[in-house]
Structure formats: structure tokens, C-alpha cells
Amino acid sequence: MKADVVIIGAGIVGASLARKLSLYDIRVLLIDASSDVATGSTKANTALVHAGYDAVSHTLMARFNREGHAMYKDLCHLLDVPYKQIGSLVVAFNNEDEKQLQKLLDRGKTNGIKDLHLIDRNEVLNLEPAVNSSVRSALYAPKAAITGPWELATALTENAMDNGAELSLNSPVTKIEKALKGFVVTFGHSSVTTPVIVNCAGIESDTIHAMLKKPDYTIIPRKGTYFLLDKKSGDHVKHFVFQTPSKLGKGVVCAPTVHGNLIIGPDASQNNDKYDLSVTRDSMDTVRSVALQSFPDLDFGMSITEFAGVRAHSSSGDFVIRHVTGIPGFFEAGGIKSPGLTAAPAIAEFLSDQIIQYLGAPSLKLHVKTTRKPVIRFSGLSDAEKGMLIKANPAWGHIVCRCETVTEAEIVDSIHRFCGSKTVDGVKRRVRPGSGRCQGGFCLPKVIQILARELKIPPESVEKELPGSWILKKGGSV
């Protein structure tokens, strides 16, 4: 197999890059170890499109945060991905906090962020009526926004594939060898020859780098735990509300999600296990107690799930984005921790410009699509629109997930798109059955049945997420 560019890692960064490169007349192969796109850090984060005051000035994080933020709204609009500009607040409760707010404001100005200002207690209470009444002031960034991280990564990949990029899942890269003109990359049971590799492997970016050269950075995994509260609690918090940052990160936030839930977290705990996504009592207690300082009336009894994500913190302290010195054709975007979700579109633009130049400026394709086939979200339609759809296809009238009002037709559509869902969690990420209050208690058997029928596999072969994660026993039935 041959390709012009091989991208390793289909998180938000690899997917953004695949979409940019798919505009050119070259063969792009996006490879991921997992059974779906967006199952690394892109799957479990706070989903904030950061305004840009937090990143240390003059770092790559600050630059790509600012540039990425400026691209987000249009990108989400083009790809039909949720995006809401709700604004963020960093709240201060004492003198020390207020000194930090001033520092963040100054840093924001240095980073070139406009529309940032300090607001007093009354203004904070006006914006956030349920915030702890002992609040003294806040830093307000009205341009901060929320999005759907895995929805965006899926949409980017879908659009890239519509323009000819190829995707290989369940394909862990295990070896990279230098060849006469480039590299031979071994993944799964295949290999590909390519002049260009881009390392977008998240927490494994140091491992991929080490396949060619001793890395000058290591990835230090930092786990963050979250609570997701039921939609009934959704408007208890109106903005993305931070407390002042600590050495380990931006701190616990309370914020609405684009789907109307409340997300609370993350803490930051460091261990050496890149794959430890366990939710511990200690972490839950930490998140709960910190969040209650901001919003004393938060009802954690409304939690519908708890989960953890792992940040790819680089020992260099910054993103590692470059054409690696001494290895022509080896590009990387490693150590992309927060604000990596925000920065991804700008990182992709920067790297794609370099790669296109390196490949001798191939021409743009004559016909490309910048949008994707619209996603019909049944729950948001009027009764008349719903009626018309059901008349054309009764599967639109078959509600599979009652918590989120997801129809059979939406699930079927999600399976048959480019980069379609192949697993129960894949369907959940794309169209949300199982994301509501019952967490799949009622709809799981139906989702398995639909996946089995559409993929033409036995129900017992349907996987939750990873290869081998079957839900039914052989000989069982739904």
C-alpha cells in the first residue's frame, strides 16, 4: 500500500489535519489504533473552546489557542456540529484569587485576546444567580464557547473521507522504518509506504516518536474526573465557570454542555498509567467539594454518569508541533493537552501548509466538499417536520432512546455515513442513545439489534467499543 501522507491518530488533531489535506490531490491515510475516531483525549474533556487568556504567553499553546478559537464558529457551522458561545467566568473569593484574576487578564492581553474584562460581585451574581454569594469578582470572557468534541472529530473525518481521505481503524502502528524515500509504517496486519508521517497520537505521541528517534520529550499522563448531571440541572449554571487555576491545571469547572446537561470537573491526578480511566472515590470527593465552593446548591444526586479523561502533558511544558529535525518527512503534533481541542483547527492549518510545501505543492482538487451531509436531529424538529419524515419513512417515528428522543432512522443514518458507527459507543457518540438519564438501560438492546441488522453481523458480535467488548453471550438473544 502507498500513501502521500500517513496521519497516526484520529483524535481532533489528526481528524482536523486529514480534512485540510484531503483538499489536495494526494493520497491521505488516517490510522487509529482504536475501533473508532475520537476515543482518546478527544472523547473525555470539558468541551470548552477557550478564549485564550490561560495559556502561558509566547507558547505554542497560546498561539494556537488564539488562532484556533477564531476558526471554530465557522468550522462548526460548516460541519453541522453544535457550538454555543456562552462565555466563561473565573470567579474570585478572596484577595489571592483577585490577584490571579489580574494576572490572567494581563496574560490575556499579552496573548492578544480581546473582550476580556473584570466584573464586580453584582455583575457576577447577575450572570450566575446560583453562584456562591461570597463571590467577590470574576474575569469574564464572553467569547468562550462550548462544542461537541467527538461530534466535531467525527464530522471532520467524515468530510475528509468524502473528499477521498482513507481511514483505517483497529490499526495500532507498531513499527516505523526509514525507507529510500520516506518510511514504511506497520499497522495491524498491513504496512504502508509514505514520504510523510504525521504523529498525532495523543498520549502515545512520545511512543510513536521513539519508533524513529529518541524523543526529547515524554508524555506525563494526567487524569481528570468528571460528573455529568441530568438535564434537569442543566440551567443551574449559565456560563463556563472556573475557579482560579493551580499548578496542575485550570481547575474544576461547572458548565452546561451543548446538549443541556451540566458537566462538573476535572480534577488532576498524576500516575504513570496512560490508560487508567478509573473513577475513584478520592477524585469524586475532590471534584464535588471544589465545585460546591462555586455553586453550593449543586445537586450531585442528579449525576447520571462519572467518567475520566487523560491529558497528554508533555515534559517540555508546551505543545510539540514541528517538522522533526533530522528526519525529513516526519511531522508531529505531540503533547496536545488543553487547550488542544480549541487549538486543533489552527494546528492542522499550520502543519498542512508545511506538509504541502514539503510535498512540492501538489494542486488542490478541482471538486471538494467543505460541508457534510446534514444530520437530522429529530428531537429539534417541529411537529410538522416530524410528521413529514415519518410519512416518508416510518423509522423516523420509532423512538429508540426515550431519554434523548433518538429515532431508529437517526441510528441507521449514523451507521451508513462515511466514518459511520460500528459499535454501541460509536452510535452513542454520534446520535446519543444511551447518553441520557437511563444511560442505555432501556435502549441498549434495540441499538444492538439495529447495529447487527445494518452491519449484517450476529447480535453477539456487536461490540461496546474495543475489539472483543461483546455485550451478548453466544447463543443469547435480544
Ligand X SMILES: Cc1cc2nc3c(=O)[nH]c(=O)nc-3n(C[C@H](O)[C@H](O)[C@H](O)COP(=O)(O)OP(=O)(O)OC[C@H]3O[C@@H](n4cnc5c(N)ncnc54)[C@H](O)[C@@H]3O)c2cc1C
What is the contact surface with ligand X in residues (CB under 6 A)?
A: 8-14, 31-34, 39-42, 45-48, 50, 172-173, 200-204, 208, 224, 266, 309-311, 336-342
Residues 346 and 64: beta-carbon distance below 8 Å: yes
What CA–CA distance (Å, rounded) separates 123 from 140? 10
Min separation Cβ 164 and ligand X, Å: 21
Three-state DSSP class for residue 461: helix
Cα 116 to Cα 207, 254, 276, distances in angstroms: 39, 20, 37
Judged by beta carbon, residue 32 or residue 463, the one nearer ligand X is: 32
Amino acid identity of residue 35, one-letter, is S
Nearer to ligand X, 24 or 242 (CB): 242
Nearest CA to 223 out of 180, 278, 260, 177 is that of 278
Q: Which of 50, 69, 236, 239 is catalytic?
A: 50
Nearest to 14 by CA among 41, 47, 51: 41
Q: What is the DSSP string of 215-240?
A: -S--EEEEEEEEEEE-GGGTTS--SE
Nearest to residue 471, comparing CAs of 445, 450, 453, 446? Answer: 445
Is 61 or 450 the residue whose CB approaches ligand X more closely? Answer: 61
H runs (alpha helix) in 359-468: 383-392, 408-416, 424-431, 444-455
127 φ, ψ to 5°?
-75, -35
Q: Taking the complex as a whole, how short is the minimal distance between the CB of residue 45 and ligand X, in angstroms?
A: 3
Strand pairing of 330-334 and 196-199?
Answer: parallel
75 and 345 Cβ atoms separated by less than 8 Å:
yes
Our CB check for ligand X shows the closer of 105 and 201 to be 201
CB distance 223 to 277 below 8 Å: yes
Q: To the nearest 10°, the Cα dihedral for 101, 102, 107, 110?
A: 140
Q: Least distance from C-beta 27 to ligand X, angstroms?
A: 18
Q: Considering the complex, state which of residue 337 and residue 446 has its C-beta at the smaller distance from ligand X.
A: 337
CB of 254 to ligand X, least distance (A): 13
Q: Does the active-site annotation cover 50?
A: yes
**Number of Cβ atoms within 10 Å of the Cβ of 212:** 18
User: By C-beta, is 343 or 444 nearer to ligand X?
Assistant: 343
When the beta carbons of 309 and 443 are compared against ligand X, the nearer one is 309
Cα Rg for the chain, rounded, in angstroms? 22
Estimate the crossing angle of helix 149-162 against helix 424-431, to 10 degrees.
100
State the minimum distance, in angstroms, from the CB of residue 373 to ligand X.
24
If we measure between CA atoms, which residue out of 150, 170, 168 comes closest to residue 307?
150
Place of cell 461547572: 254
- Return the residue matching grid coordinates 460546591: 292
Q: Taking the complex as a whole, how short is the minimal distance between the CB of residue 266 and ligand X, in angstroms?
A: 4
In the complex, the smallest distance separating the C-beta of residue 69 from ligand X, rounded to whole angstroms, is: 9
The residue whose Cβ lies closest to ligand X is 340
Task: Select 46 or 261, whichever has its Cβ closest to ligand X.
Answer: 46
Name the nearest CA neighbour of 332 among 321, 341, 343: 321
Residue 100 to residue 107: CA distance in whole angstroms: 10
Minimum distance of ligand X from residue 115's CB (angstroms): 18
Active-site positions read 50
